[in-house]
Amino acid sequence: MTEIVEILLSASFWAAVLRIASPLIFATMGELICERAGVLNLGIEGIMVMGAFAGWMAVYAGLGLWPGVLFALLAGMAFGAVHAVLTVPFGLSQHVVGLGITLLATSSTYYAYRLSLPEVTSPPRIEPFQPLEWPLLERIPVVGEALAAQTALTWLAFAVVVVVALVLYRTPLGLALRAAGENPQAVESQGLSVTAIRMGAVIAGSGLMAVGGAFLTMSAFSSFFFEMVNGRGWICIALVVFGAWKPGKALLGALLFAGFDALQIRLQQTGLGQIVPYQVFLMIPYVLSILALVLMSRRAEVPAALMTPFNRGDR
**Which residues contribute to the site for another protein (CB under 8 A)?**
42, 82, 86, 89-93, 95-97, 99-101, 103-104, 106-108, 110-111, 114-115, 118, 195, 230-231, 234-235, 237-238, 241, 277, 279-280, 282-283, 286-287, 289-290, 293-294, 297-298, 300, 311-313
Q: C-beta of 45: minimal distance to another protein in Å?
A: 8
* In the complex, minimum distance from the CB of residue 205 to another protein, in angstroms, rounded to a whole number: 17
| CA separation for the pair 307, 286 (Å, rounded) | 24
Distance CA(92)–CA(85), nearest Å, equals: 9
- 2 or 299: CB nearest another protein: 299
CB of 67 to another protein, least distance (A): 23
Q: Taking Cα atoms as reference points, which of 153, 152, 165, 147 lies closest to residue 29?
A: 165
- What is the SS3 assignment for 72-128? HHHHHHHHHHHHHHHHCCCCCCHHHHHHHHHHHHHHHHHHHHHHHCCCCCCCCCCCC
Please identify, using beta-carbon distances, which residue of 128 and 253 lies nearer to another protein: 253
Distances (CA, A) of 228 to 56, 213, 315: 13, 9, 45
Nearer to another protein, 170 or 312 (CB): 312
CB 105 → another protein: shortest distance, Å?
Answer: 8
Cβ 151 to another protein shortest distance, Å: 27
Dihedral sign from CA coordinates of 66, 69, 75, 79: negative
> Which residues lie across from 131 on neighbouring strands?
151
What distance in Å separates the CA atoms of residue 240 and residue 246, rounded to the nearest whole number? Answer: 8
| Helices (runs of H) and strands (runs of E) counted in the chain | 14, 0
Nearer to another protein, 54 or 146 (CB): 54
Give the nearer residue to another protein in terms of CB position, either 108 or 270.
108
Closer residue to another protein in complex, CB, 70/258: 258
Least distance (Å) between residue 307 CB and another protein: 10
